[in-house]
Every structure is written in C-alpha cells, then in structure tokens.
C-alpha cells in the first residue's frame, strides 16, 4: 500500500463532539480546535509515526481553544490512552474536577504491565483550576516512556500539577507551576511508581504546595511500571531513580524538593526563595522491605534564601532515610543572621557529606530572583 501523500486537518468547532476523531485520524493528521469553548474528549489508540505525529492543537496560538469541564459529564478535560507519536499544543483546559489532561497506558482491561512507548509532547498547554482538592492532577502521566512537557502553565490543582506514575525518559522544561488560593496543591511535580530518567529543567514553582517537587512518593504496588517482582530482594526497589532538577526557581511553598524512597537524584543550580518550612526533605514512606530508603542524592550549586524570620530547619530528615549517603556540593545560603554563630550551627547540622564549602552570602535578589551581589552570581538558576 502506498503511503498517504497528504495529511488531513480535522477542524473542531466549539461545542462539537470530537472524541469520534480517534477512529479516523492517521499519521500526520491534525485535530484543530477553533477558537471558543470546547467539550472534553476521550481519545484512545492515536497512532502517529516517527516524523509524522498526530497533532492536537488550537487553531490560534494567541487565542487557543478552551476545553471547559462542566458540572455534568466527564470530570477530566482530555483523556488520551495508549498514544504513539502525538503532539498536543496551544490549548487550555479549565475546571477539571478529576484530571485536567490524563495520558496513560491503559488498554481498557485495567491491567498494568510494561511502560508504553509513547513519544508524546505537550507544548504551550495551560491547565487551570483543577480539583480543587483530593487526588486531582492537572496533568496525569501513567506508564509512559518518552514524554516532553514544554513551556506549559499550570495554575491551581488538588493533588499534583504533574503526576508521573511509572514513567520513564521524561523531560519537563520551561514550565510554570503556580498555586492558587482555595486549592490543596499537595505537590507540584511528582515522579513515583518506579519512574526513571526524569529531567525537570528551567521551571518556575510559585507557592506550588507542600512539596514543589516530590522526587519519589508512595505508590500502591499494583501501579508500578514495570511491576515489582514478588521475589525482589530487600532494599532493591525504589519509587524514583535518576531524576534531575536543574536551573529551577522555587518561591514560597512548604518545601522545594522532597526525596522520598528515591535512589540518587540531583538538584543542581536551583534558586529557592522563602520556603515556609524546609528547603529539602529526606523521607522514607513505605514499610515494604523491598524498597530502599532515600539515598544517594546530590544538592549542588543552589542558592537558598529564607524570609526575614529565618529558617526553621534547613533539611528535614524523616525516620528510616539514609541522610549519610547524601552529598552537598557548593551551595549558598542566606537569611538575616546567617553569617553569625546560629548560621554556622545550622550549616554544621546539614546531613550527609559536604564535598565543598557552603557559602553564606546575601545575594541581594532582584525582582526576578536573580542575584545582584556578584559574590552570589555563581549559585542558583540565574548563574
């Protein structure tokens, strides 16, 4: 059979039912949402090809189509199951009661197996006012391999802004996560359920919840991808491994990054401003002996600035974690009085190994949280 010479555009008018398009789109086709308010959709089995993805997009990037979730009907805005080579861009999802955008490996049987080779991109997507409470995620990714989330905006959610369960080879870059009053915002970006090779780069977290990045988590065994073998040895499994958080800015929130039953993990060149309780947490939240405690994390090149009342605890260490396996490279810390005896004691109490001296310096941050003090310019996201 000869390949199709031309791709098709499927134009969707506001209010039109468009879930049916899943059965007719072909590699290279576009589903184009015209400006206006659109219905939620459920799309299963979208199959693009390498170099010829199926694209779901707004017709006008300056006036993107809005998927609004009403009080009746499905609680999610956009559900995509078992996609391959799919791009979603220039749309807005508003008011989801469950998940704003849900992309997963489900085949409809309810079974969970190996991660699905997806090659999915979300680009310039906004997900607004999800939840506002409970296990309601703005973007839910489950059992996928190969995902990029680029230049997206998430505002107001219940559970996580982005929740990854058993996902691998994921890059989240240049995104903004902003908490809103009246929303629980348990965590900002969460990678758990055996997730590996995740990169969170150049993102901004503004009051993004109790744990702006939850590096690991607590997942039911039935949701791990791949499965946790019954005969796995003690301390051999993990919630997340090989996760990097780089050049990100964290403003307010309870904690910037929590390591939770994670193996390794790197936080590098990040700026953390005004955390309400801790900069970092090292936690162990499962009783299953097959899971290792949090271990082997690296924190390097970061700039951590507390509000005027100073820190409560720089790093929170929970029972069962292995703080002695963490390493602190060269970081800069500041709060009023940090250059005194109390600051020395606080930094001396940092857990783990210090592979470089910890600087104490007032960065004199500008309105965009960049250091204007040249002595601090080598630290943080603005370096």
Q: Per-domain residue ranges for the chain?
A: 1-74, 95-376
How confident is the model at residue 109, as a pLDDT?
A: 60
Please list the rounded mean pLDDT of every run of 10 residues in the chain (383 residues): 67 97 98 97 97 98 93 84 98 97 83 85 98 96 97 98 97 98 97 96 97 93 85 90 98 97 96 96 91 94 92 91 96 95 92 96 96 96 85
- Contact by Cβ (8 Å): 216, 262: yes
pLDDT of residue 236: 87
Q: Residue 76: its pLDDT value, please?
A: 94
Which residues does 184 contact at the CB level (< 8 Å), separation at least 6?
131, 132, 133, 134, 157, 158, 159, 209
Q: Quick one: pLDDT at residue 2? A: 39
**pLDDT value at position 1?**
39
Q: β-strand 240-246 against 266-268: which pairing, if any?
A: parallel
For residue 379 the two structure tokens come to 């630290």
Predicted pLDDT at 41: 97
Q: Cα separation of 59 and 48, whole Å? A: 20
pLDDT at 203: 98
CA torsion through residues 372, 374, 379, 383, sign: positive
pLDDT of residue 108: 65
The fold for domain 95-376 equals: Pectate Lyase C-like (2.160.20)
């Amino acid at each position: 059979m000869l390949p199709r010479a031309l791709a098709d555009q499927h134009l969707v008018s506001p209010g039109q039912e468009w879930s049916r398009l899943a059965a007719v789109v072909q590699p290279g086709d576009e589903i184009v949402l015209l400006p206006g308010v659109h219905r939620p959709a459920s799309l299963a089995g979208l199959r693009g090809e390498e170099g010829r993805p199926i694209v779901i997009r707004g017709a006008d990037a300056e006036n993107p189509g809005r998927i609004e979730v009403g009080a009746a009907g499905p609680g999610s805005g956009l559900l995509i199951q078992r996609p391959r080579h799919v791009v979603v861009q220039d749309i807005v999802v508003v008011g989801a009661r469950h998940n704003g955008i849900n992309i997963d490996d489900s085949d409809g049987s309810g079974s969970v197996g190996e991660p699905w080779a997806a090659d999915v991109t979300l680009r310039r997507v906004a997900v607004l006012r999800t939840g506002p409470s409970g296990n309601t995620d703005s973007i839910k990714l489950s059992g996928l391999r190969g995902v990029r989330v680029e230049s997206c905006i998430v505002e107001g959610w219940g559970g996580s802004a982005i929740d990854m369960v058993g996902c691998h080879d994921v890059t989240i870059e240049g995104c903004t996560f902003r908490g809103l009053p009246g929303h629980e915002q348990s965590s900002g970006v969460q990678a758990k359920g055996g997730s590996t090779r995740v990169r969170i780069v150049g993102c901004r977290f503004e009051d993004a919840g109790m744990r702006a990045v939850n590096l690991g988590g607590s997942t039911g065994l039935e949701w791990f991808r791949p499965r946790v073998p019954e005969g796995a040895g003690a301390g051999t499994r993990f919630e997340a491994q090989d996760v990097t958080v780089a050049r990100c800015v964290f403003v307010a929130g309870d904690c910037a990054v929590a390591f939770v039953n994670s193996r390794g993990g790197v936080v590098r060149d990040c700026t953390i401003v005004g955390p309400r309780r801790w900069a970092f947490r090292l936690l162990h939240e499962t009783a299953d002996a097959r899971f290792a405690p949090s271990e082997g994390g690296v924190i390097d090149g970061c700039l951590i600035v507390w509000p005027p009342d100073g820190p409560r605890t720089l790093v929170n260490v929970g029972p069962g974690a292995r703080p002695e396996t963490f390493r602190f490279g060269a970081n800069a810390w500041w709060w009023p009085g940090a250059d005194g005896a109390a600051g020395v004691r606080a930094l001396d109490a940092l857990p783990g190994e210090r592979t470089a001296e910890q600087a104490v310096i007032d960065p004199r941050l500008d309105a965009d949280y960049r250091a204007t003090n040249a002595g601090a310019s080598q630290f943080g996201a603005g370096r």
